[in-house]
């Protein structure tokens, strides 16, 4: 048995780096039964077979795990956003941030395509929220040093909607990677992603980055009861006010004496952030009943 890290997941194969070689592995049937999928970033035990392939026998306990992007054990999510086409939806940015907060995973906001459109207002917004934020251009190379500093020595996953330039930025950071990228106009309609699998790249020995397919507004995989319960805590810009609400268990949506709403009125919390909160709150509201119904059926 040898130990390694999964660096790529593609067409049912997991590519495990054992330190000496890359082994293409199938996962044992047992994982499917237990509804656990190995993820890129997982440390695993591998049984090497005589034909050079292998099988994933065990997954070591995870520091954190995400369904979308499908990665494990990352130190931080780097949310790549753009003010140029395709413009990122603030709600999707905030949703990703909330999910990362829930899992105790770091967040970096990286505003790309600043050669086309200034990302200044977004930079100011997310700095105020409390996230490390950087403006870059994969085209001109602007901001790449600062981004490199933010990811250096860490395992990061790039995420963001399709076409914002996740793969382009990685290529700029490490030109020899030669990852496929494609002009937004060449993407054939909705839901076409250029990057279709999750893969880990090594920028240097200590700096690892996972490229992932773009996410969409339809992904609800991570919207669960756990997030529903902890939602206010996943908005770190609400933290200074939450304890001052008049009612215990205040939902910060409409209550009288809500300190979060007061801070919003006073301009201390950004409107777009509270709008995202309201939308997530609404999306998560019906979750319990739906789950209960599911249980009744079975
Ligand atoms: N002008 C400009 N164009 C960029 C920049 N970054 C990326 N692009 C272009 O945007 C298009 C999409 O870039 P990709 O790197 O494929 O985007 P992606 O986020 O990896 O997309 P998916 O893999 O589909 O999720 C390509 O044509 C890039 O050349 C930038 O900073 N400035
Ligand atoms: Mg890509
Ligand atoms: Zn409140």
- pLDDT tens track of the chain, all 298 residues? 999 999 999 999 999 999 999 999 999 878 878 888 999 999 999 999 999 999 999 999 999 999 989 999 999 999 999 999 999 999 999 999 999 999 999 999 999 999 999 999 999 999 999 999 999 999 999 999 999 999 999 999 999 999 999 999 999 999 899 899 988 776 555 446 788 899 999 999 999 999 999 987 777 888 999 999 999 999 999 999 999 999 999 999 999 999 999 999 999 999 999 999 999 999 999 887 655 554 443 3
Residue 1 Cβ inside 6 Å of ligand 1? The answer reads no
Q: What's the pLDDT score for residue 193? A: 79
Which of 165, 194, 197, 212 gets mutated to test ligand 1 (max ligand atoms within 8 A of its CB)? 165
Nearest to 24 by CA among 43, 49, 42: 49
Nearest bound ligand to the CA of residue 188: 1
Structure tokens at 198: 């999750």
Going by CA atoms, what residue is nearest to atom 11 of ligand 1? 183
Question: Ligand 1: distance of its center to the CA of 190 in Å?
Answer: 16
| For the CA of 256, the nearest ligand | 3
The pair of three-digit structure tokens given for residue 44, joined into one six-digit string: 């695993």
Confidence (pLDDT) at 297: 38
Which of 69, 111, 115, 138 maximizes ligand 1 atoms within 8 Å of its Cβ, making it the mutation to test the pocket? 138
Closest CA to 30 of 9, 47, 7: 47
- Residue 127 has φ and ψ, to the nearest 5°, of -65, -45
Task: Give the model's pLDDT for residue 188.
Answer: 52
Find, among 32, 62, 68, the residue nearest to 44 by Cα. 62
The pLDDT value recorded for residue 291 is 59
Give, in degrees to the nearest 5, the angle at Cα 35 between 69 and 79: 10
Q: What are the backbone dihedrals phi and psi of residue 259, each rounded to the nearest 5 degrees, phi first?
A: -75, -25
Q: From the CA of 255, how far away is ligand 3's center (Å)?
A: 7
Q: Is the CB of 168 under 6 A from ligand 1?
A: yes
Distance from C-alpha of 243 to C-alpha of 11, rounded to nearest angstrom: 48
User: Is 172 touching ligand 1 by the criterion CB < 6 Å?
Assistant: no
Residues in the chain: 298
Which atom of ligand 1 has the smallest separation from the CA of 170?
Answer: 15
pTM for the predicted model, two decimal places: 0.94
Q: Ligand 1 pocket test: which of 86, 87, 118, 182 has the largest number of ligand atoms within 8 Å of its C-beta?
A: 182
**Residue 144 CB coordination number (10 Å):** 16
Our CA angle for 209, 213, 214, nearest 5°, is 110
Task: Give the distance (Å) from ligand 3 centre to CA of residue 245.
Answer: 5
Q: How far is the CA of 291 from the centre of ligand 1 (A)?
A: 38
User: What's residue 133's pLDDT?
Assistant: 98
Task: Tell me the three-class secondary structure of 212-238, residue by residue.
Answer: CCCECCCCCCCCCHHHHHHHHHHCHHH
Q: What pLDDT is stored for residue 261 in this prediction?
A: 98
């Amino acid at each position: 048995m040898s130990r390694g890290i999964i660096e790529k997941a593609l067409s049912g194969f997991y590519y495990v780096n054992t330190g000496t070689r890359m082994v293409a592995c199938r996962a044992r049937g047992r994982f499917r039964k237990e509804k656990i999928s190995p993820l890129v970033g997982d440390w695993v035990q591998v049984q090497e077979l005589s034909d050079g392939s292998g099988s994933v026998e065990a997954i070591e306990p995870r520091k954190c795990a995400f369904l979308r992007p499908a990665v494990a054990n990352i130190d931080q999510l780097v949310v790549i956003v753009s003010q140029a086409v395709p413009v990122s939806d603030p709600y999707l940015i905030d949703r990703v941030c909330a999910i990362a907060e829930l899992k105790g995973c770091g967040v970096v906001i990286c505003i790309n395509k600043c050669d086309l459109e200034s990302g200044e207002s977004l930079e100011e917004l997310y700095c105020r929220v409390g996230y490390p934020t950087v403006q870059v251009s994969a085209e001109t190379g602007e901001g790449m040093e600062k981004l490199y500093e933010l990811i250096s020595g860490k395992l990061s996953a790039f995420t963001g909607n399709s076409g914002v330039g996740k793969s382009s930025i990685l290529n700029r950071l490490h030109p020899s990677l030669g990852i496929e990228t494609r002009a937004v106009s060449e993407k054939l309609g909705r839901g076409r992603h250029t990057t279709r699998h999750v893969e880990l790249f090594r920028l240097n020995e200590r700096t690892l980055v996972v490229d992932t397919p773009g996410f969409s507004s339809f992904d609800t995989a991570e919207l669960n009861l756990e997030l529903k319960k902890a939602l206010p805590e996943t908005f770190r810009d609400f933290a200074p006010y939450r304890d001052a609400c008049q009612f215990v268990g205040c939902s910060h949506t409409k209550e009288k004496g809500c300190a979060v709403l007061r801070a919003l009125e006073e301009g201390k919390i950004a409107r777009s952030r509270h709008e995202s909160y309201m939308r997530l709150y609404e999306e998560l509201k019906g979750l319990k009943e739906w789950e209960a119904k599911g249980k009744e059926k079975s």
